[in-house]
Structure 1
Amino acid sequence: MHHLTKDQARRIAVGAQLLDAFRPGDVVEVAEQLGAIKIDPTATIAPAEQTILWSRIGSAYEGSQLTKAVDLDHNLFEYDGAFRPISLLPLMLPSMREWPKRASTRAWLEANSTFRTEVLARLRGEGPLLATDIPDTAEVTVPPDGWYGSNQVVHMLDLLQRQGEVAVARREGRHRLWDLAERVYPQNLPEYELDEAERLRNERRLQAFGIAKQRSPWTPVGEAGESAVVEGMRQKYRVHPDALATLKQDDGGRVAFLSPYDGMLFDRPRLKELFEFEYVLEQFKPKPQRRYGYFSHPILMGDRFVGMLEAEVNRDRDTLTVEAVHEFLPFEAEEYEMVRAEIDNLAEWLGVGIRAW
């Protein structure tokens, strides 16, 4: 049983997410450690997948590096709204073959068995295809909601992706081209039984987060890693051995601006308990109810969240407009200079000037 202070737990979490002073070298290294790089088009500053990589790699990162890793080298693949390392695919396939568990999803697929067959046949004969290239012949429809429109092809493709039948072959801009998974995924991958694959996935999940509650629906890690308790916390944690080793390093930390869809922010209870940070994405709030702005980026300084960056790129004017830097507590002079320097780095990476607050 490891006994950790809150400071140590935070440092473990920050290091595991590659947000300490030791920057990774490339896109694949980031993906292998994090397990998933979220894809989202909201680009007040840059799309999530680009900001997530820049916040780790820094000014050496260019968007073409991600394209190369996905489309040319095939070191990453797209699944369920994120780019993932190909090394994870063998661990995901056993559970994909068992999906879906929910009765309503199974019923929809069964009611649309002819539609399913037609989609697969169209891809086999003509793929890769956009969803709009495939006729919607669904017998039973799902009403439009916040994620899906009325076109049932998109819904069917997403479900077939979860079953391992189809996959995203590549993108044209923000649009996905779909094909049969057997033509997209590598062949001769290692085979795992379901239980073993889940155990290994738990280990990879804990690797990405460093430390997680033993019983957490946000970050399920099972019995991966080693037992730990954190001062002031009643719940038991699991900690990754490699993350413990980083406690011997005193790197001083750095400033990082995090996309609202950054994996570091995913486990909201952990954020509150370890970092005393109650993060709320205000994107979907009415404007009068927003405190920090439509798509503000949390500011991490060392192992603490110190504020929110409210900024937006204007490509017509080639400027990064900084509306505000919301300080949770007033910055000291050195802290202000660190944040300002990172804003300068962000503008340089974006290739724009700065219109300061």
Structure 2
Amino acid sequence: MRALWTDANGLSKPPTGQLDLMQIIHALGFVQLDTIQVISRAHHHILWSRNQNYREPMLDKLLRNREIFEHFTHDASVLPMEFLPMWQRQFRRHKEKIDRSGWYKNMLDEAGRQAIIERITDEGALSTHAFDTKVQGKKEMWARPPHKLALDYMWYSGELATCHRVNFTKFYDLGTRVFPKRLLSENLSDEEQIDRLCDAALQRLGCASVGEIQKFWDAVDQKEVREWLARREDQVSPVEIIGADGAGNQAYAFYDIEEQLNSLQRPTSRLRILNPFDPMIRDRNRIERLFGFEYRIEMFVPAKKRKWGYYVYPILEGDKFVGRIEIKADRQKSDLNVLQFWPEPKVKWTAKRYEKLRQEIGRMARFINVENINYQVEIA
């Protein structure tokens, strides 16, 4: 199962050869976006890990060309534009969720939102910087001005869409000008959308529990997954997955699962430094169960309480996690600083394995175009 999950995440083959960026995104299903740039932002690092010919400007080109769109899975992500027909209920679900929650009670009213629409209609795509409203009352940590809340609300509902970004600042345009008409007009029923979402999730997970299928897109609930399983009983069967601790766990897989397993090739021995938001490790419980690898992001943990560090990268070799490392770039000084390194327990680090790690660190430096690698910890 480890080999299947590694292969499903596009990490079984060496990250070399001709780059087909859309194929990578399609195979993953989505790529999470994140603002934090310790070395490179998460979305860029994730794509580079699959093919090291990738460079940072390439993703925005796909966005501008309308080959992908941005929306919310478990977090802000980019998805292939062809997935839009199965995403229509997700626009509606998010709008209804916000309406019920009262989270955006301080956003612009309907007239204020209509004024934004009229400006974007007349002027073209605009960012949040084109508007000027202020937070009223107590300025809490996560408080945002009324116009920003309104832009988000209309983005969640699909009325607005991201058309491009500049230095990661989102530019909003009308959804009808971003989303292709042929896809918007497909009009799938909710059940058809749920079927497509669950089919696509299990195809990418290989084997998965009800909860894992539900969490993949975070676009259905567990009841809907169970109803989908009932409709797919002639294609999906119960299986047992043996975890790293030897315990069995009930899951589901398509009937051709044995064929999938038998056709797997041995994963490359290439060593990769993965991003903390990589889809391979997004579901922390799944990765611990399958690989015996405990991993948590500690950015929001007080420094004194961290077990590892602020932004620690897992190290994958083949289909095994062999360590973790803390690295930070200073692009202005053209430096890549190696701060800390932890081998995994019971993993023997030979001279060859250390050399592979140094080679991967060197590749990361070339990816972000910095000249110097500074080792503050010994990589023997």
- Tell me if 1:236 matches 2:231: no
1:212–1:270 CA contact under 8 A, matched in 2: no
The TM-score, its normalising length taken from structure 1, stands at 0.86
1:63 aligns with 2:56: yes
Kindly state the Cα deviation for residue 348 of structure 1 after the two structures are TM-superposed: 2.3
Counterparts of 2:283 and 2:126, CA distance in 1 = 35
Match of 1:126 in 2: 123
Query: In the aligned structure 1, how far is the partner of 2:313 from the partner of 2:176?
Result: 39
Is the Cα contact below 8 Å between 2:107 and 2:148 reproduced in 1? Answer: no
Q: Which residue of 1 aligns with 2:3?
A: 11
Following TM superposition, by how much is the alpha carbon of 1:109 offset from its aligned partner in structure 2, in angstroms?
9.1
Report the residue type matching 2:37 in the other structure: A
SS in 2 for 1:215: helix
Q: Give percent identity, aligned residues only.
A: 26
Query: What residue is the counterpart of 2:169 in the other structure?
Result: 175
Of residues 76, 84, 92, the one that matches 1:89 is 84
Matches within 5 A, 1:1-357: 9-23=1-15, 25-58=19-52, 60-71=53-64, 73-80=65-72, 81-102=76-97, 103-105=100-102, 108=105, 112-136=109-133, 148-189=142-183, 190-216=186-212, 217-219=214-216, 222=225, 223=229, 225-231=236-242, 232-239=246-253, 241=256, 245=260, 247-253=262-268, 254-329=270-345, 330-352=348-370, 353-356=372-375, 357=377
Once the two structures are TM-superposed, the CA of residue 18 in structure 1 deviates from its matched residue by 0.6
Distance (Å, rounded) in 1 between the aligned partners of 2:252 and 2:301: 35
Structure 1 309/244 Cα, relative in aligned 2: closer, same or farther at 3 Å? farther
Cα distance change on mapping 1:297 and 1:242 into 2, 3 Å: same
In structure 2, what is the Cα distance between the partners aligned to 1:11 and 1:145? 46
Aligned length: 344
What's the CA shift for 1:55? Answer: 0.6
AA aligned to 1:212 is A
User: SS of the counterpart of 1:291?
Assistant: coil
Q: Deviations over 1:292-347 (max 9, x none)?
A: 22111111111222211211112233121111221113423332232222122222
1:264 partner SS: coil
How far off its partner does 1:107 sit? 8.5
Q: Which stretch shifts more, 99-108 or 38-47?
A: 99-108
Separation (CA, whole Å) in 1 of partners of 2:258 and 2:31: 20
Q: Is the 8 A contact 1:210 1:243 kept in 2?
A: no
**Displacement of 1:274 after TM fit?**
0.9
Instruction: Note if contact 1:94-1:192 (Cα within 8 Å) is conserved in structure 2.
Output: no
Give the residue type in structure 2 aligned to 1:292: W
Shift of 1:32: 0.4
- Are the structure 2 counterparts of residues 108 and 187 from structure 1 closer, same or farther at C-alpha, using a change threshold of 3 Å? same
SS at match of 1:30: helix
Separation (CA, whole Å) in 1 of partners of 2:356 and 2:137? 49
- The answer to whether the 8 A contact 1:15-1:246 is kept is no
Q: Distance in 2 between matches of 1:160 and 1:137?
A: 19
Distance 1:109 1:13, change over 3 A: farther
| 1:262 counterpart SS class | coil
What do residues 186-211 of structure 1 show as CA deviations (whole Å, max 9, x unaligned)?
11113311111111011222233333
By relative contact order (CA 8 Å, sep 6+), the higher-ranking structure is: 1
Query: Could you say if the C-alpha distance between residues 108 and 31 of structure 1 is closer, same or farther in structure 2, counting changes exceeding 3 Å?
Result: same
129 and 276 in structure 1: CA distance in 2 versus 1, 3 angstrom threshold: same
Task: Give the 3-state SS of the residue equivalent to 1:82 in structure 2.
Answer: strand
| Structure 1: unaligned runs, 5 residues or longer | 1-8
Q: 1:144 to 1:267 in 2, by over 3 A?
A: farther
Amino acid at match of 1:206: L
Q: Which letter maps to 2:196? A: L
Contact 1:168 1:178 in 2 (8 A): yes
CA offset at residue 261 of structure 1?
Answer: 1.5
Q: 1:84: how far off? A: 1.2
Q: Distance in 2 between matches of 1:18 and 1:99?
A: 30
Change (3 A) 1:187 1:194: same
Distance 1:136 1:314, change over 3 A: closer
CA RMSD of aligned residues (A): 2.8
Q: 1:130 is aligned with what amino acid?
A: S
